[in-house]
Structure formats: C-alpha cells, structure tokens
Structure 1
Amino acid sequence: MRLFLLPISTRRSLIYCERMHEKLASDRTYLDRITNKANETWASWEKDDKSWKNWKKTLTVYGNKALRRIPYEEWGLKTIPPLTARRRQAELEGKEKVEVIFPGLFLREEKVPGILQQLATERQALHRKRMIWSIIGMPLSAPFMLVPVIPNIPFFYLVFRAYSHWKVDQTNFITALSGSKHLEFILKNKLLRSVPSSELDEAYTAGLMYPTREISRNAPVPSREQAEDISSIIEKQTNNGSEDVMVLQRWNGKLIAEHFKLPEMEVEIERAVEQVEQAIKGREELLEEKRELERATAAPSKALAEKPDNKIQKKADEVGKP
C-alpha cells in the first residue's frame, strides 16, 4: 500500500492512498458491488440528455456541487482500505509494505508522523457524530419514495453519507471508521516508511513557477536549485509559520496524477485545493473585517484625545487673555 501526503498549503495536507492490488470481481462483497453500481449509474446520468426535462443531468450537476462541499480530509481517508484481519497480519509480518510519499522540500520529513496522526485521530469523533445523524435522517426521508419517476435522492444521499462516515470491517464485523482507524494502526505499530520524492518536488516547483498547465507541460523540468529557491521563498512568505500559504495549484493536480498514473487522484487534489483556497480567503476576509472594526472603534477615541473640544479650548483661550 502506498500513501501520498500532499501539502495543499503550508498548514494543510491531503492524504491519498494508492491500492497496489485491486480486488478481483469474484472477491468483491455485496457492498463493493452496490458501490460500483452506484458510481456507474451516476456517471451515466451525467451524460444522459434524454430524461424528462433533463432531470438526471441536472441532478448530477447539483449533486456534484454538494459532494464538493464534503471535506477533502474525509475523501482522502476513504481511499484508505479497511483494516481486515488478513491485512493486519500481512502488515505486522512485513508482507505488505506501507510507504508514504511526499515532497521533501515542501514538507519536512520530521513533520510527517504528526500530520498523519492528526489526520487519523482528529476527525473520528466528528465522523461518528455525523454518521449517527445521517442514520437518524434516513427513515425521515423514506416517504419521498412515494414520489413517482424521480428516485428518493434525500434518502440515498443520507445512506451515502452514513456509509462515508462508517465502514464495516467485513472479516471481524467490527464497526470502524476504517480509513482513520487503519492509519492509526499503521502509525501505532510504526509500520510506515517515509519516502521523500524528488518527482513531487519538481511538480510542486513547476506549479509555483509557471502560470498554466500548458506552459508547465512544455517547460523544462525544474532543477534542484530552482526547487530549493522556490521552497525558500514559500518559507519566507509564511512569516515564521504565522501565515498559511498555498503551495499547490488546482491545475497542477492533473499533472501530478498523470505522472504517477493515478487518474482518480486528480479529482481529490482539485477538491482539496478549492476548499483550502476558500478557507484561506475566508480567514483573510474575517481578519480584514476585524482590522476595519478596530480602526473604526479606535478613530473616535483617538480624535477626542488629540483634538480638544472647541468650547473648552475657546474658554481656555479667554481665560489666558490679559
């Protein structure tokens, strides 16, 4: 199993898991088959122009917008496979290696375990809480099944959200938040091997050097010196870690995915970059509003302190006259 830890900004990172061995069709569970069927149906609806009033395609447009609002951390953890008894044993015995690949110039190696530990543990309570609310909402949305023609989208969405927050370890029937639990197990047993990637360093550098994907494709591969210079500039922009600075461009996700031959990674990167950009922009807007409020509230008192009242000043001038 190979993990990618991709810094989106200087404070936020995306985890993505590449499964080295996909399941054979005969080994897939009913849950796997249902999930695959749902994905195929959704993809066909995205291209369907013949439905009544084009409702299928319209639904997928709004559905995809809703899915993009799901935190990228959740999507990343979902790529990590469940910790079955067979996989647990294979990892403990060293039969299945676990690597984490990251851009060493844009993410210090000593920070990797801490970031992974945070990703593995900080959202477990949140996923459990949201899973419970999704399950509670499922029977409340069931009456929508009576609506003819159009499927019960609210119900299926809640089922999907519950499944996203909760996967079942199908071997031992132990309920678990599988991605985070598996990652936590790997870290606890020190099974992870860190692998700084020069290819990722080059990809990140190109994304920060060039304005578009097309220019980046045609440009020469950045040298090690250029990568170190760009990394140094980013470090200075953080003001000793006080500022959160973007290090990955949205258009660059496709190039990284193509380089590692992982087309599914592109969507994960684009979603993560979009969400982090919005978060940074929102925080900057809040800080600017706070500064404006502070200036507005400080201005009257400052003016009063610096400029005496006209009547008082006039009276003082009269008293001072001979």
Structure 2
Amino acid sequence: MNRAWTGLEKAPPGTLKNRIHGLGLRLLAQVKPSEIFFKSISKEVTNVEVTYPSSLGARLVRRRLRHIAMRGTIIHKKYFYGSVSLLPLTTAFTVLPLPNIPFFWVLFRTYSHWRALQGSEKLLQLVSDSSWTLNSATGNVNETEHDESRHGIHNSAKPTWVLLPSKELEQLLHRGDGHDGLSKCAISDICKVCDLNANDVMKYRDSM
C-alpha cells in the first residue's frame, strides 16, 4: 500500500495517477483529528498528563477524558469490523488495469481504525487507573486521591495520569469566548501555549 501511494505521489502533474493522488489527499483530509490522536497513543505510553482550565473540576475533566476514550473504543471497533468486511468486496477491482484504489483505501481505513482502537483502549486503561495526582499550575503536587480509599483500598503505585489546572489557559479561554465559541485568534494563542496544531484543533471544533 505504501509503495503504491509513493508511486502515485511521484506521478507527473496532470496524469491520471496524479489526479488519483489528489483524490487520496482530499480523502485523508476527512479523517477526524480524534482518530489521529488515538493513533498517536502507542502501547509504550505509561502515563497521561492533562492540562485544563483552572475553573473546571478535576473530577469532571477525568470523567470527560474517560468518556472520550470509551467512545473511541466503541466507534473504532465498529468501523474496524465494517472495514474488514469490505476488503473481500474491493478485491474484485483487481481486474482493472489501474491501481485498486478502493482496496487500498479500505485497507488503509482498516489499519487506521485498528490503530485508533488500540490507542483508545490504552487511554481508557490509563485513565481508569485508581490513582491520580492533582498538580497546581506551578507543577507542585498538592493533592492525591484514590477512588478506592473510601473502601479501605490504597494504591501506592505511581499515578498513571496527572491533572494540571492552568490559570493561563483559563484566561485565554475567557479572552476568546464569543457567541459561536472560541475565535480563531483565541484557538491560535492556545495552540501556541500548548504546542498544538491549530488546523487540527479547528477541524476538531468544526466536527463537534
């Protein structure tokens, strides 16, 4: 699949292969940022650090993150099996004297959903851990909670995720808050502070 894509990319402008490559780029642009995010979470990830506006409650942030991870596992598992079921059908296009674009696209989507499923399951595993640490904006640990402590169960292991309330992020959010949500300027400022891709964040906002 990678060799076929490279061949399309190197095709001379104006050729059929070059147009197919352009179509592929437009299709790739439709992939949701959440899927790209889940794919970036490998099995080697051992902890999660979350920076959030200081006005939000830590428990709310944790529940929201667990919801995102759980929703990702459900969605990508469904699309993974759906893509797998389409693979045998797209092999019929191999009789054509052109690259089997439907097969390569479905194969890519199958792999992509599988990677996203693995990432979302890993994230869910990490944020479902009983131990967590709440840090102040300065990075000093000032609180540690265990969900099981009320039942007499204590986990002394190193927390798998850390919550970092940020006053700076809170100020940026209020500065750019409008009737239609955050402005592009506010999102751009937040992305600079948090080292994020502004285009991906805008794309994610528009997909919600």
Q: State the TM-score, normalizing by the size of structure 2.
A: 0.67
Shift of 1:112: 2.4
Quote the residue 2:33 is aligned against.
72
| Matches for 1:274-293 after TM superposition, within 5 Å | 274-277=203-206
The superposition leaves residues 7-48 of structure 1 with CA deviations (integer Å, 9 ceiling, x where unpaired) of: xxxxxxxxxxxxxxxxxxxxxxxxxxx8xxx2x8646744x3
Letter in 2 for 1:182: K
The structure having more radius of gyration, on CA atoms, is 1
Alignment length (residue pairs)? 178
Alignment check: 8 A CA contact 2:73 2:117 kept: yes
The superposition leaves residues 187-246 of structure 1 with CA deviations (integer Å, 9 ceiling, x where unpaired) of: 111310123467x73xxxxxxxxxxxxxxxxxxxxxxxxx73x533556x46xxxxx613
Shift of 1:157: 0.9
Residue 59 in 1 paired to residue 15 in 2? no
* Aligned equivalent of 2:78, options 129, 148, 153: 129
Alignment check: 8 A CA contact 2:33 2:203 kept: no
Mapped to 2, the partners of 1:272 and 1:278 lie a distance apart of 10
Gaps of 5+ in 1: 1-33, 92-97, 168-175, 202-226, 239-243, 280-322
Q: Secondary structure at the match of 1:166?
A: helix
Alignment check: 8 A CA contact 2:8 2:18 kept: yes
Residue 144 in 1 paired to residue 93 in 2? yes
Letter in 2 for 1:194: L
Shift of 1:250: 9.8
Shift of 1:69: 1.9
Mapped to 2, the partners of 1:233 and 1:116 lie a distance apart of 24
Quote the residue 1:193 is aligned against.
162
The superposition leaves residues 133-178 of structure 1 with CA deviations (integer Å, 9 ceiling, x where unpaired) of: 2111111110212222x321111111111112224xxxxxxxx921
Mapped to 2, the partners of 1:271 and 1:138 lie a distance apart of 29
Q: Secondary structure at the match of 2:192?
A: helix
* Aligned equivalent of 1:180, options 120, 124, 129: 120
Mapped to 1, the partners of 2:203 and 2:48 lie a distance apart of 27
Mapped to 2, the partners of 1:140 and 1:122 lie a distance apart of 28
Q: State the TM-score, normalizing by the size of structure 1.
A: 0.46
- Counting aligned pairs with the same residue, the percent is 21
Shift of 1:248: 5.3
Higher relative contact order (CA 8 A, sep 6+): 2
The structure carrying a bigger strand percent of its residues is: 2
Query: Per the alignment, do residues 250 and 49 of structure 1 end up closer, same or farther by CA in structure 2, a change over 3 Å counting?
Result: farther
